[in-house]
Amino acid sequence: MGTPLSATALAVLSPLEAGFYQRPTRRVARDLLGKLIVRRLPEGTVAARIVEVEAYLGVRDPAAHTYGGRRTRRNETMWGQGGHLYVYFTYGLHHCANVVTRAAGVPEAVLLRGAVPVAGEEAIAARTPGRLDGPAKLCRGLGIDRALDGADLTAGGEVWLAGDGFACRSAWVRRLPRVGVAYAGAAAAWPLRLLVDLDAPARVRRERAAGGAAARAERRTRAEGPGGSRAARR
């Protein structure tokens, strides 16, 4: 999941096309897991693999900024075409980055909650030490603020999203209620937070190795038969 990306691999990444974003928000949220967010910084180009997201379903979602058709200068980007970055400032302290989905006039988005650095790790760590395990830390580590609100993610400019062939298996994904939306009533329990179990790939490898060892032991036992080892029967 956090395997470093070579400079060559980073250089050939192309932005995801608009059609990726202009689909049902739940589907976009699931497909964002494992994708790369790429950011051009003064220190160089960096990238991180997305491992946690939350879906916000617009006018019918009490947790969304556009619930009930709310339209303000702050959330105007959500009302635009899918494939743009919606960045807002919260609690007077933190920035949060969202990927706008669907068509223009359908104000839905996916919040980027966590990512694992895979290129430019030192530059990211200099901005925020530790893991990018939260929307505020993700924005700090990647240098994302309100200046990038409305950025076209399909243009390959200062920030974009890309796929490098990495497949995030369904067995690795946990679906949980969203964080910090208790005000949304029953919608607070909707399982729209998608989180990759970062230990899952290693655990699967361990289980496969253990299963292989057990199978080999069973084959040896069958080959030796009920009378014990071959050596003992000679």
Average pLDDT taken over every residue of the chain:
91
- Predicted local confidence at residue 202, as pLDDT: 60
Please tell me the total count of domains within the chain: 2
Tell whether 124 and 204 lie within a shared domain.
Answer: no
Tell whether 83 and 148 lie within a shared domain.
Answer: yes
How far apart are the C-alpha atoms of 102 and 66, rounded to whole Å? 14
Judge whether 116 lies within some domain.
yes
pLDDT (tens digit per residue) in 122-141: 999 999 988 899 999 999 99
How far apart are the C-alpha atoms of 175 and 159, rounded to whole Å? 27
Tell whether 137 and 216 lie within a shared domain.
Answer: no
Tell whether 165 and 217 lie within a shared domain.
Answer: no
Residue span of the structural domain in which 226 resides: 199-234
Position 196 pLDDT exceeds 90 = yes
Tell whether 88 and 152 lie within a shared domain.
Answer: yes
Judge whether 1 lies within some domain.
no
Tell whether 156 and 63 lie within a shared domain.
Answer: yes
How far apart are the C-alpha atoms of 198 and 173, rounded to whole Å? 9
Q: What are phi and psi of 128, to 5 degrees?
A: -155, 110
- pTM, full prediction: 0.86
